[in-house]
């Protein structure tokens, strides 16, 4: 087995339509986007910046937003009509609220290494808690994710006549006189009190599936060259459309040559220095180097590897647009075939394969 925004306004329509042409040409396009180096979009109580097909055209199936919230800052109640949301908390703490179509609600606190997943259309909010800013990477299963597919509660309420709101909520129309008339997006507020250890009986209405998974707390798969933690629908049942992973590679280590038959791979580099080559068939290949804040991309079925070329441990978050994790490695493929067949395939003596691994080694030393 191998290792496997909320941004500016964008319609997700042509001229930013399907970007298949770059992958079909003579050369592969860039598979790196320097998200960390992009300017922050300042917000009231934090900032955000995004990588979608608008600025990273090859990333058709997945998009990402890097966001930071100050303590008490609230990413207001909203939902996404065109994408599910998978997130990894890089540092700090935040509180998330959710509601699903059955009216089930969940309120949970998240810390470093925690993951959340919101199915498409589920209402949610995110608020910074604690004493330090909270930073997280949001990844969406649609490269055309945009603000035109994100619906905010203040924007909606601000465009409903007060008399209709009065009927809907059974309160006087004057109640809404000072409500915002447009989207607030992100707003400062007090840090909320701790959640009760023992909620009042009858006060909760949780769904059958939780939106939280403690990825960093998961026992990792350990290899000579590093570790990997995978969270697919198998481990996190609500995450039906996406799989995530935390990959750490030792200096000089290699995430071996492999491909994913069922999904594109979207990468966010947290620390370290890496080199990745992506093979796109027909003699096409592209090698690029990555550092903290960079985004990498490997389209579905494209062969690739990740090598730690720095002096420190390499750490990155991986996301795939399928709830099932699938990976096929060159090591396992070679091991599954007779040496005589490989010799014929490569036109070399059979002895050339005598010392090849007899099974898969995802991250050899």
Convert the pLDDT of each residue in 324-343 to its tens digit.
999 999 999 999 999 999 99
Other Cβ atoms less than 10 A from the Cβ of 68: the count is 20
Q: pLDDT band at 218, cuts 50/70/90? A: very high
Pairing of strands 186-187, 212-214: unpaired
Q: What is the pLDDT of residues 198-207, one digit of tens each?
A: 666 665 666 6
pTM: 0.90
The active-site residue out of 78, 93, 95, 258 is: 78
Positive or negative, the CA dihedral 354, 355, 358, 359 is negative
Q: Is the predicted pLDDT of residue 17 greater than 70, yes or no? A: no
Query: Residues near 180 by Cβ (< 8 Å), separated by ≥ 6?
Result: 154, 157, 158
Q: What is the pLDDT of residues 75-98, one digit of tens each?
A: 999 999 999 999 999 999 999 999
The active-site residue out of 32, 43, 54, 80 is: 80
324 in active site: no
The active-site residue out of 50, 60, 76, 85 is: 85
Task: Provide the greatest CA pair distance for the chain.
Answer: 86
**60 to 119, 229, 239: CA distances (angstroms):** 19, 25, 20
75 in active site: yes
What pLDDT score was predicted for residue 203?
58
DSSP 60-129: -S-EEEEEEE-TT-EEEEEEESS--EEEEEEESEEEEEEE-TT--EEEEEE-TTEEEEE-TT-EEEEEEE
304 in active site: no
With residues binned 3-state (H G I as helix, E B as strand, rest as coil), the percentages for the chain, rounded to 5, are: 10, 35, 50
**CA dist., res. 63 & res. 22, Å (int):** 17
What pLDDT score was predicted for residue 358?
86
Token pair 């069922």 is found at: 262
Query: Residues near 225 by Cβ (< 8 Å), separated by ≥ 6?
Result: 249, 250, 252, 253, 254, 255, 362, 363, 364, 365
Q: Is the predicted pLDDT of residue 6 greater than 90, yes or no? A: no
What pLDDT score was predicted for residue 18?
41
Q: Is the predicted pLDDT of residue 9 greater than 70, yes or no? A: no
User: Of all residues in the chain, what percent carry a pLDDT higher than 90?
Assistant: 85
Which region, left, alpha or beta, applies to residue 252 given φ > 0 means left and ψ of -120 to 50 means alpha?
A: left
Cβ-contact 299, 23 below 8 angstroms: yes
The active-site residue out of 32, 54, 122, 124 is: 124
Q: Is the predicted pLDDT of residue 11 greater than 70, yes or no? A: no
Q: Is the predicted pLDDT of residue 166 greater than 60, yes or no? A: yes
Q: Which two tokens stand for residue 204?
A: 């909760």
Report, as an integer, the average pLDDT of 233-248.
Answer: 98
The active-site residue out of 135, 147, 183, 315 is: 147
Q: pLDDT band at 196, cuts 50/70/90? A: confident
The active-site residue out of 32, 54, 75, 95 is: 75
From the list 290, 263, 283, the residue with the least C-alpha distance to 30 is: 290
80 in active site: yes
Q: What is the pLDDT of residues 97-123, one digit of tens each?
A: 999 999 999 999 999 999 999 999 999
Report, as an integer, the average pLDDT of 5-27.
Answer: 47
All domains of the chain in start order, with CATH: 21-213 (2.60.120.10), 218-353 (2.60.120.10)
Q: Is the predicted pLDDT of residue 194 greater than 70, yes or no? A: yes
Q: Is the predicted pLDDT of residue 8 greater than 50, yes or no? A: no
Other Cβ atoms less than 10 A from the Cβ of 322: the count is 20
């Amino acid at each position: 087995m191998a290792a496997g925004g909320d941004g500016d306004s964008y319609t997700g329509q042509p001229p930013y339509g399907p970007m298949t042409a770059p992958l079909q040409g003579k050369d592969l396009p860039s598979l790196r986007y320097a998200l960390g180096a992009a300017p922050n979009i300042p917000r009231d109580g934090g900032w955000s910046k995004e990588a979608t097909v608008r600025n990273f055209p090859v990333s058709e199936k997945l998009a990402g937003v890097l966001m930071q919230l100050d303590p008490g800052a609230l990413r207001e109640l909203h939902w996404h009509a065109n994408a599910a949301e998978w997130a990894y908390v890089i540092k700090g703490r935040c509180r998330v609220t959710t509601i699903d179509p059955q009216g089930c609600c969940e309120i949970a606190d998240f810390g470093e290494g925690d993951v959340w997943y919101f199915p498409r259309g589920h209402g949610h909010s995110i608020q910074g808690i604690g004493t330090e800013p909270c930073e997280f990477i949001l990844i969406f299963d649609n490269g055309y994710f945009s603000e035109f597919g994100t619906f905010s509660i203040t924007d909606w309420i601000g465009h409903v006549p007060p008399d209709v709101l009065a009927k809907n909520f059974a309160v006087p129309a004057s109640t809404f006189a000072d409500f915002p008339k447009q989207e607030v997006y992100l707003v400062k507020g007090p840090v909320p009190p701790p959640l009760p250890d023992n909620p009042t009986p009858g006060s909760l209405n949780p769904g059958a599936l939780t939106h939280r998974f403690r990825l960093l707390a998961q026992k990792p798969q350990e290899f000579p060259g590093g570790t990997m933690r995978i969270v697919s629908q198998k481990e996190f049942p609500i995450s039906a459309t996406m799989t995530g992973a935390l990959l750490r590679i030792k200096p000089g280590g290699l995430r071996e040559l492999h491909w994913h038959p069922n999904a594109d791979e979207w990468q966010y580099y947290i620390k370290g220095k890496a080199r990745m080559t992506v093979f796109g068939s027909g003699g096409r290949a592209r090698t690029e180097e990555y550092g903290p804040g960079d985004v990498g991309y490997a389209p579905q079925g494209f062969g690739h590897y990740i090598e730690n070329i720095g002096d420190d441990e390499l750490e990155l978050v991986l996301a795939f647009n399928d709830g099932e994790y699938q990976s096929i490695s060159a090591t396992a493929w070679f091991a599954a075939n007779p040496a005589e067949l490989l010799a014929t395939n490569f036109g070399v003596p059979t002895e050339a394969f005598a010392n090849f691994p007899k099974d898969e080694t995802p991250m050899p030393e």
